[in-house]
A and B are shown apart, each in its own frame.
Chain A
Amino acid sequence: MSAEYLFYWSMAATGLGLVLIGLWGVLTRKHILRIALAFTLADTGVNLILVWSGFLPNRAAPIIDSSVTTVVDPLPQALVLTSIVIGVAVAALFVVVGVLASRKSGSADIRHMKELRW
């Protein structure tokens, strides 16, 4: 296993790990903000994986000038820019709705938000 290999795949592993931890948190945490935090973690992980999907070791950032010709893929980075901003927008809304929902149900515990069922 070369250093390059480790470098490359450790990125993916970190991203995947964050996604899975985030999903686990989403499934198991009770506090509504904890769930939002878990989503943020998973989001970060997904963003890492996305950037990684266009990443090549031994290349330069995608800013072309006279000295640089071999760069990494710019597209996933562009996607991740979008994804990060979307993530914060969703988080902002989630937090607001979560705060108000917890005020309505008198607790931030998601198990108490089961008025709608069946």
Chain B
Amino acid sequence: MIRTIVGLAIVLVLAAILITVVDDYTVPSALSGVGELYTQTGVEDTGSVNLVTAVVVAYRGLDTLGEVVVLFSASTAVVLILTLIPIGANPTPPSSIVAFTAGILPGAIILFGIYIITHGHLSPGGGFPGGAVVASAFLLVMLGSNTIPDKSKFLSSIESLAGLTFGLLGFWGMFTLGQFLNNLVIPAGSPGRIISAGIIPLISLAIGAKVASELSGIFSSYRKAGGEE
């Protein structure tokens, strides 16, 4: 009880601080700083129509690489912990509805995911959401099957290859243009086409594959941990 009140007090004081400290309660009318620059030169610089993808993959590719490593580390850690310490539980067999759905949907979901990944430079989407969508298809497959899929060689190969591809694409830019992860190592092409924006589609693919395989890896080791009794 005391803790609840003290917690509440702390949070209220924080709220008060945050509210009083802000000294500009207007609605801005124009972009400032780099936001403006991105909107002006983004398409020209990267060839990507979707500026968010341009920022994610090209301008701030290093962040994205780091983020892929975050996911990689988390997945490795989860797999590592769960393989070292098998914790048991009773896996419940899938209900017939789930099994039925799991038989039909995954193909479509994967196709959709790949679409999201490959069109990241044209429309909303890209490697992260696309990869997550593909992973959810995998999750569905797993829920629908009675067997416990291992974090198979296939998954870890995709994971590693995708990571290596990402890294090597980065080095390609370093070699040819002196900038790590520069996407214009091949011509940008005309903005708005599917084959455009330099190697952004390639990098998106690598990110997508990486995200999908990492998340699937986490799921499969969850599943495995649940199955080993």
Direct contact of A and B (CB under 8 A): yes
How far, in whole Å, are A88 and B78 apart by their CA atoms in the complex? 12
Closest 3 CB pairs of A and B: A73-B35, A89-B74, A27-B7
Interface contacts (Cβ under 8 Å), in number, total 126
Across the interface, do A61 and B124 meet the contact criterion of CB distance under 8 Å? yes
Q: A27-B7, A78-B60, A100-B87 given as contacts; is B39 within 8 A of A4 (CB)?
A: no
Contact of A81 among B11, B39, B128 (CB under 8 A): B128
Say if the beta carbon of A93 comes within 8 Å of chain B: yes
Tell me the interface secondary structure of chain B in the complex.
Answer: helix
Q: Please give the distance in Å from A16's CB to the nearest CB on chain B.
A: 6
Across the interface, do A85 and B128 meet the contact criterion of CB distance under 8 Å? yes
How far, in whole Å, are A27 and B13 apart by their CA atoms in the complex? 14
Q: Which residues of A pack against B, CB within 8 Å?
A: 4-5, 8-9, 16, 20-21, 23-24, 27-28, 54, 56-57, 61-65, 70-75, 77-79, 81-82, 84-86, 88-90, 92-93, 96-97, 99-100, 103
Which A-chain residue is minimally distant from B225 (CB atoms)? A96
Q: A71-B39, A82-B67 given as contacts; is B87 within 8 A of A103 (CB)?
A: yes
Mind listing 25 A-B residue pairs with CB under 8 Å? A8-B27, A23-B14, A28-B8, A56-B27, A56-B28, A56-B31, A62-B50, A63-B49, A64-B49, A65-B49, A71-B39, A72-B31, A73-B35, A74-B35, A74-B52, A75-B34, A75-B55, A75-B60, A78-B55, A78-B59, A78-B60, A82-B56, A84-B128, A86-B70, A89-B75
Across the interface, do A62 and B70 meet the contact criterion of CB distance under 8 Å? no
Given the complex, which residues of A lie within 8 Å of B126, measured CB to CB? 81
Interface residues of B in 92-132 (CB under 8 A from A): 122-124, 126, 128
How far, in whole Å, are A36 and B35 apart by their CA atoms in the complex? 33
Across the interface, do A85 and B52 meet the contact criterion of CB distance under 8 Å? no
Q: A20-B14, A74-B38 given as contacts; is B29 within 8 A of A56 (CB)?
A: yes
Say if the beta carbon of B21 comes within 8 Å of chain A: no
How far, in whole Å, are A81 and B3 apart by their CA atoms in the complex? 34
Across the interface, do B63 and A82 meet the contact criterion of CB distance under 8 Å? yes
Which B-chain residue is minimally distant from A2 (CB atoms)? B27
Say if the beta carbon of B160 comes within 8 Å of chain A: no
Say if the beta carbon of B10 comes within 8 Å of chain A: yes
Given the complex, which residues of B lie within 8 Å of A93, measured CB to CB? 74, 77-78
Starting from the known contacts A56-B31, A72-B31, A85-B71, 15 additional A-B residue pairs (CB-CB under 8 Å) come to: A27-B11, A28-B7, A62-B50, A63-B50, A63-B122, A64-B51, A64-B191, A65-B49, A73-B31, A74-B38, A81-B126, A82-B67, A89-B74, A93-B74, A100-B87
